[in-house]
């Protein structure tokens, strides 16, 4: 099965702690297999995401990389594709068919602040979720939902301790 990993570029612990955690939780919850964070290593994020995986299930991996360029280059050399989410890219509805057609593993890249030009050049697809500036969390969520076509709503997570029991008017958990 095609593997989907997310590469979060340019993590700055002081500014991005919450947002990078939200990128990771969105990646996990909406069906990606793991996240690689480029930037200053931040054990707190790894700890909080791993705690979610322990309680709510997986599999989902989280790691840091020191060079986004080597990571992307090696990913491409191993036969994977890179999908860079950027408001400058091809609108997602236009690029989706081609992306879905390929069964190559996919690395979905999202930035924090300015993304280096080389990322655009290395990417197999530069894809936009509207041409408006939005958040990396929302861009990733829309991409994954469109890519999986709603499959994430019925995804089963392995080894979980907690599960939500659906209910229309109250909170209920099974643990
Ligand atoms: N100004 C930055 C730049 O030049 O790349 C963008 C910063 S934005 C807050 C952070 C990330 O959100 C971007 O790198 C991109 O991955 C994602 N993003 C923001 N708007 C987007 C859009 N309309 N479509 C796809 N991705 C978007």
pLDDT 10s digits, 59-75: 999 999 999 999 999 99
Query: Where do the domains of the chain lie, and which CATH numbers do they carry?
Result: 4-174 (3.40.1280.10)
Percent of the chain past pLDDT 70, that is, above it, reads 99
In this structure, the residue with its CA closest to atom 3 of ligand 1 is: 114
- Between the CA of 114 and the centroid of ligand 1 the distance, in Å, is 8
How many residues can be counted in the chain?
A: 175
Q: What is the distance in A from the centroid of ligand 1 to the CA of 165?
A: 35
Amino acid 175: pLDDT: 66
pLDDT of amino acid 157? 92
Q: Whose CA is nearest to atom 14 of ligand 1?
A: 111
pLDDT of residue 160: 84
Ligand 1 centroid to residue 58 C-alpha, Å: 27
pTM of the model: 0.94
Quick one: pLDDT at residue 67? 96
Give tens-digit pLDDT for 159-171.
888 777 777 777 7
User: What does the DSSP assignment read for the chain?
Assistant: ---EEEEEEEE-HHHHHHHHHHHHHHHHHTT--EEEEEES--HHHHHHHHHHHHHH-B--EEEEES-HHHHHHHHHHTT-EEEEEEEEEEEHHHHHHHHHH--S-EEEEE-SSPPPHHHHHH-SEEEESSSS---HHHHHHHHHHHHHTTGGGGPPPBT-S-EEPP-SSS--EE-
Contact 151, 113 (CB under 8 A): no
């Amino acid at each position: 099965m095609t593997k989907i990993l997310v590469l979060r570029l340019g993590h700055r612990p002081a500014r991005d702690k919450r947002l990078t955690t939200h990128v990771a939780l969105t990646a996990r919850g909406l069906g990606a297999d793991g996240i690689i964070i480029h930037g200053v290593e931040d054990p707190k994020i790894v700890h909080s995401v791993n705690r979610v995986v322990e309680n709510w299930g997986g599999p989902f991996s989280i790691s840091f990389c020191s060079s986004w360029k080597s990571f992307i280059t090696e990913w491409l050399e191993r036969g994977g594709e890179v999908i860079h989410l950027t408001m400058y890219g091809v609108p997602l509805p236009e690029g989706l068919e081609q992306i879905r057609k390929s069964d190559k593993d996919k690395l979905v890249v999202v930035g924090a602040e300015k993304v280096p030009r080389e990322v655009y050049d290395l990417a197999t697809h530069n894809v936009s979720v509207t041409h408006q500036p939005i958040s990396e969390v929302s861009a990733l969520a829309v991409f994954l939902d469109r890519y999986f076509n709603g499959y994430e709503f019925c995804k089963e997570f392995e080894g979980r301790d907690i599960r939500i029991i659906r209910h229309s008017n109250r909170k209920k958990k099974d643990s």
